A = this chain, B = another copy of it.
Amino acid sequence: MSKQKLADGLPSRRSDCPIAAALDLVGDKWSLLLIRDIGLLDKHRNKDFQSASEAIPSNILADRLKRMTAYGLLEKRPYQDRPPRYEYHLTRQGRELLPVLRKLALWSEKNLAGVKIPRAAKAPTQDRDVD
C-alpha cells in the first residue's frame, strides 16, 4: 500500500502551487483528521486513533502514520521498551497545520447546518495563532 515514494522522502509535486503542494501531503480523507486527533484532541497512540468517532481502517491508519512521519509532519517516539511501543506527536511543521484546521472548523460551524465546534478542542498552546 502507498506505492508513493515513502522510503526516500517527499512525493513528487503536481505543480509548484503552494496549495497543490500541501494537498499532495495531506489532501486525502484521513490525514488532517489524524493531525486533529494529535494536535487538538490529544490522542497519540494507535488505539486512541482507532477510538475516534470516524473509525479509520487500521491499515489506512498505519499507512497514514507512516507517510506523515516520512513527510516530517509527525514524529514517532517510543514510550516503553517491552513490548516496544510508540506514540505519535506533531513536529513543528505538523503543529503549524493546526491554524488551517481551525479555519476549516470555523468555516464548517458557519456554513454547515448542525455543526458546532466543541469547546473541548484544546486551545492553542505554544504556537501563537494570531492570524
Residues of A bordering B, CB below 8 Å: 14-23, 27-29, 32-33, 36, 52-54, 93, 96-97, 99-101, 103-112, 114-117, 131
Do A29 and B32 form a contact, CB below 8 Å, given A93-B111, A109-B18?
no
Please state if B32 and A27 are interface contacts (CB–CB under 8 Å): yes
- The number of times this chain is found in the oligomer is 2
| Set of chain B residues within 8 Å of A18, measured between Cβ atoms | 104-106, 108-109, 112, 115-117
Please state if A29 and B23 are interface contacts (CB–CB under 8 Å): yes
* 5 closest A-B pairs by CB: A18-B108, A15-B53, A18-B105, A100-B103, A22-B108
| Set of chain B residues within 8 Å of A115, measured between Cβ atoms | 16, 18, 21
Please state if B54 and A108 are interface contacts (CB–CB under 8 Å): no
Please state if A36 and B53 are interface contacts (CB–CB under 8 Å): no
Please state if A54 and B104 are interface contacts (CB–CB under 8 Å): no
| Set of chain B residues within 8 Å of A36, measured between Cβ atoms | 17, 19
| Set of chain B residues within 8 Å of A21, measured between Cβ atoms | 108, 112, 115
| Set of chain B residues within 8 Å of A96, measured between Cβ atoms | 107, 110-111
| Set of chain B residues within 8 Å of A19, measured between Cβ atoms | 32-33, 36, 101, 104-105, 108
